[in-house]
Amino acid sequence: MNKKIFSTLLALFVVASLIVGCAAPAAPAAPAATSAPVAAAKPYIPVISKGFQHQFWQAVKKGAEQAAIDLNVTITFEGPETEAMVDKQVEMFQTALDKKPTAICLAAVDSKAFIPLLEKAKAANIPVIGFDSGVDSDIPASTAATDNIAAAALIADKMASLIGGSGEVAIIAHDQTSRTGIDRVKGFTDQITSKYPNIKIVDTQYGGGDQLKSTDLAKAIIQAHPNLKGFFGANEGSIIGVLNGVKELKMEGKLVVIGYDSGQQQMDAIRSGAEAGAVTQNPIGIGYKCVEAALKASKGETLPKVIDTGFMWYDKSNIDDPAIQAVLYK
C-alpha cells in the first residue's frame, strides 16, 4: 500500500472515530415499574355461636358486628341450626381453622368436644376466645361470659323467697354438655341444697333449648308433681317451653315461674304476671367483648381468663328501667 492511500484511510478512520465519540450517549434504562403499595388485609375473626334459633344469639351477633366496625376487623358470625348439633359446630370450627384466621371466637355446644381442635389452633398459633359457653381447656386465652353460677344462685334465692321458703320446684335447662347448661343447673341446685332445706328439687330435665320439646317436658313434670310450686327455665328456649306448658295446663298464677335471658314472649309474661322475673345477661356486650379480646390476643396482649360481662335481675317492678332496657332484646 503506498503512502497516499494509507494516509487517506487513516484520515477516514480518525473522522469516523470522532463521529462515534460525539454521538449522544444512550439513554439510561428506565427503572423497573413498582407496584402501588397493597393495603394490608383486615384481621379476620370468625365468631362461631351455639346456634341461631334464639334472639339471644342475634343480640350477640349485633355486639360482635359493632366491635368489628369499631376495631376495623372483619368477622363472620355463624352457628348450627340447633344447640344440639355438636358435629355441625365442630365442622364449622375446622372450616374456620382452615382459613388461617387472626383468631377465633367460640361458644361451644359441647365443652369437651372441641379439645382436639383447640390443640390444632394452638399449634397453628391461632388464639381462641370463648364466649357465653366456655370449654374444659386452658387453651382459650379468655372467655367473655356471664357468671352463670352466681346468676343461677340469685334465681334460687328469688325462688325461695317467692314460694315462702318451702315446697317442690323443678328445672328445665338446655343441655348437660355446654358450660352454661352445666353451670346454671349447678348454681341453682347448689344454692337450694345449701341454703333452703325445706325446698326440694323434684326434677331436672333438658330440652336442648327447643321450645316445643321444653313445653312437653314442662307439662309432664307439672302433671307428675301436683304439689309443684316453682319452675326455673334456664335459657330462652327452656323458659318459653315452661311458659307454654303452664299456659296449656291452665296453671298460670298457680306456679312461680322464673326464667333466664330475654325475648318478647318472656318480657310479655313478666309484664302480665305469668312469669315472676328473670336474669338477663348482656348479650351485646358478650359479642363485643369476645371480638375485642380476640384482637388483643392476636397481638400478644395479656388477658384475664374470664371477662365477666355481668347480669341483672328484672321483674315487673323494674323491667322498664333504662338500665334494664339497655340489656334486653326482643
Percent of the chain with pLDDT over 70: 88
Residues 215 and 135: their CA atoms lie apart, in Å, by 29
Show the low-confidence residues of the chain (pLDDT under 50): 1-39
At 277-293, the pLDDT tens digits run 999 999 999 999 999 99
State the pLDDT at residue 52.
85
| pLDDT attached to residue 193 | 98
Q: Kindly report the CA angle at 178 between 228 and 128, in degrees rounded to 5? A: 155
Instruction: Identify which of 98, 93, 81, 188 has the alpha carbon closest to the alpha carbon of residue 135.
Output: 93
Q: Name the nearest CA neighbour of 278 among 265, 293, 294.
A: 265
Residue ranges and CATH numbers for the domains of the chain are 44-146+283-309 (3.40.50.2300), 148-280 (3.40.50.2300)
- Find out whether 281 and 146 touch, Cβ atoms under 8 Å: yes
Whole-prediction pTM: 0.85
pLDDT for residue 29: 42
